Structure 1
Amino acid sequence: MSSHTEGSTKAIFYALGANGGIAVAKFAAAIFTGSGAMLAEAIHSLADCTNQVFLLLGLKEAKRPPTASHPMGYGRVVYFWAMMVALLLFFLGGAFSVMEGIERLKHAEPLKNPVVALAVLGISVVLEAFSLYGAMKEINKISGGKSFFTWFRETRQSELMVVAGEDIAALAGLAVAFVAVVLAVATGNPVWDAVGSIVVGVLLMIVAFFVTREVKAMITGESAAPEVNDAIKAHIEAHPHVESVINLITLQWGEQLMIAVQAKMRRQESDLALVHAINEVEESIQQTWPQAKWCFFEPDIEAGKD
């Protein structure tokens, strides 16, 4: 297992453990207090647990060996499961919370035992912060000093991106739910609790939208991260057998990478020598980037030149 996959798996297990405990506590508190915002948070945590199971299934399926019908393997299946997670986050988490909030607006009821709800929310913040810390720790190992938002836009690790997005949404949702319960108690108006549920739902749908947008790009087919693309081109051009790179295409295939190179080679003594030179270039690429499982090399001349 590669270090990147190990990091993603660790982050997913952090999140699964935290959200499992949080979901149980929230459901108990929602039943005990009658809080709509708390119920919305409980549904959100349950959806997160399901999401993390999906991500683990995706990572496991991605390791299946290539077959005749899937000659490049199953690496990109992780993007399918990440999209499933984004849809669940939007509908089961966000849309349900909004619907629950609207229902509570129509039939507002005073909260029971709000102290219990606040205590559970406080504990949930600690557990969710632990999960986010685990995800950010793994992200910092691979981000190369980029800001989180830059990394989020450029990363090709859908599973780690989804976990981080979920954790951020969860912490923000917990803050909203906490404020909603406090306002409902302080004012004696249960409408604040319903409003909190709606705000939590909208927040989840916004996060789900951004996650979906990034995963869609991965499913469509994205190159390697910009800095990896630039480094591969520089590496090829620095090779003594290569005069210049005419065209370079990289395609992220889950954890693995496909590279297609069109380059002008330096003159060789024979066709056999040219083949050996190309093999040397390909081997050097795959030694430097072990994730580059496929490397297709085409020697050519630049248009208009001999």
Structure 2
Amino acid sequence: MGEFFTLLKEGNKPSLLAAVVNTIIGVLKAGAFLLTGNVAMFAEMMHSFGDAANQFFVFIGSALSKKSPTDRFPNGFGRLVNLVCLGAVIIVGILAYETIKEGLHHILHPKASSGFLISLSVLGIAVVLELFVLFKAGKEVLHETGQDAKGIQVMAKSFGSLKRAKPATKLVFMEDLVATIGGILAMLAVVIAHFSGFVQIEGIVSIIIGLMMFYVVGKVFLENARGAIGETDEEMRQHIADILLANPAVTDIQRLNVIKEGELLHVEAEIEVDHKMTIAEADDLKDRLSLLIFAQKGVSNVVIEFDEIDQITHWIKQRPVE
């Protein structure tokens, strides 16, 4: 149990913050829905509770993925965060379905809701809190990708760097981006329904929010499915190839795999060296190269193998021959 709580300290902080904030927002929206019967509020309530559950799972998964390898699991637990994310999106998918179903029912059987000011106030508070979490997630994206920015530049830069962020951080960013947009749409729906009498707009917005939730489900599912299977990090692969070839003792690279293990990287390389190299020299070379590769961000495991020069160039134009 002590190890579990120690691992929790290493969990993804933005996902924990987002989970707590979305739980608070979900409770506020649930109260507002019970008081007003607003369908757009119902959709936002489902969205917030779905995000909160999702992000709690992701936090725990990201923490457990830091567990050290064991004899039974020698490759470690890096991919656990991908598996947790795959499970978490099922929850969001179910809530997205219920949101769309409720929106469709409201369009076919429209009913005016009450509590205009209550709905608007709760949604306004929710949007501000979601923006706060989104900003924090954006800063974490920049931190993980080695960038820095302040103010509005945080959001602008984080969009461009999102692809290289950790799975958990990426999930939080996407979910809170959709949640913020959904909150703004829900506020517009409440205003339009109140002043125009077009109450079906709340059902329409509910369906739009549900579809956005499904978009997150699809995006997160595909990315984490690739991570669970084992996806190559092409950018880091080329970077490590440059490190290897920068050593004059390395004449070529026969094989180089840089596999994402959740938030970590597993590196396997087979390099060519002079057949006259002694075992002691090869061992020293392996140690030096391993230290350089381990110094790269996210690398958790390095395996280097040697082969003699075969007069065939395997790494051509900065890419290995397939």
Q: What is the TM-score when the length of structure 2 is the normalising length?
A: 0.85
Give the match for residue 73 of structure 1: 76
Q: 1:290 to 1:193 in 2, by over 3 A?
A: closer
Of 38, 54, 57 in structure 2, the residue corresponding to residue 54 of structure 1 is 57
Which of the residues 106, 114, 139 maps onto 1:104? 106
User: 1:106, CA displacement in angstroms?
Assistant: 2.8
Q: Which range moved further: 122-131 or 105-114?
A: 105-114
Alignment partner of 1:187 is 2:189: no
SS at match of 2:191: helix
Q: Counterpart in 2 of 1:256?
A: 264
Distance 2:47 2:291 in 1: 47
CA contact (8 A) 1:246 1:302 kept: no
Is 1:43 the equivalent of 2:51?
no
Give 2:24's aligned residue: 21
Cα distance change, pair 196–284 in 1 and its aligned pair in 2 (3 A): closer
1:17–1:271: structure 2 CA closer, same or farther, 3 Å change rule? closer
Q: Give the number of aligned pairs.
A: 298
Distance change >3 Å, CA 186–CA 121, structure 1 → 2: same
Q: Distance in 1 between matches of 2:311 and 2:31?
A: 74
Equivalent runs, 1:107-146 vs 2, <5 Å: 107-144=109-146
Deviation of 1:62 (Å): 1.4
CA 1:268/1:294 → structure 2, altered by over 3 Å: closer, same or farther? farther
Q: Deviations over 1:2-30 (max 9, x none)?
A: xxx98972211321232122111111111
**How far 1:86 sits from its partner (Å)?**
2.1
**Structure 1 counterpart of 2:304:** 297
SS, match of residue 258 in structure 1: strand
5+ long unaligned stretches in structure 1:
none
Instruction: Identify unmatched segments of 5+ residues in structure 2.
Output: 1-7, 148-155, 314-322
**Deviation per CA, 1:58-81, whole angstroms, max 9, x where unpaired?**
023213332333111111100011
Secondary structure in structure 2 of the residue aligned to 1:175: helix
Match of 2:5 in 1: none
How big is the alpha-carbon RMSD for the aligned residues of Structure 1 and Structure 2?
2.3
Matches within 5 A, 1:222-241: 222-224=231-233, 226-241=234-249
In the alignment, what sits opposite 1:212?
221
SS of the residue 1:72 aligns to? coil
Match 1:243 to one of 235, 245, 251: 251
Identify if the C-alpha distance between structure 1 residues 148 and 212 changes in structure 2 by more than 3 Å, giving closer, same or farther: farther
Aligned mates of 1:154, 1:138 — CA distance in 2? 12
Change (3 A) 1:15 1:269: closer
**CA distance, structure 1, for counterparts of residue 270 and residue 120 of structure 2:** 61
Does 11-20 or 76-85 show the bigger shift? 11-20
In 1: Cα distance, 2:289 partner to 2:276 partner = 14
Aligned counterparts, 1:161-200, within 5 A: 161-200=170-209
Is 1:283 aligned to residue 283 of structure 2?
Answer: no
- For 1:201 and 1:134, how far apart are their aligned partners in 2? 24
**Secondary structure in 1 matching 2:272:** strand
* Conserved 8 A contact 2:254-2:271: yes
TM (norm. structure 1) is 0.89
User: 1:144 & 1:265 partners in 2: Cα distance?
Assistant: 33
Q: Distance in 1 between matches of 2:267 and 2:299?
A: 7
Partner in structure 1 of residue 162 of structure 2 = 152
Tell me whether 76-85 or 11-20 shows the greater mean CA deviation: 11-20
Q: How much has 1:41 moved relative to structure 2? A: 0.5
Given the superposition, is the C-alpha separation of residues 125 and 8 from structure 1 closer, same or farther in structure 2, using an over 3 Å criterion? farther
Identical positions, percent: 27
Counterpart of 2:76 in 1: which secondary structure?
Answer: coil
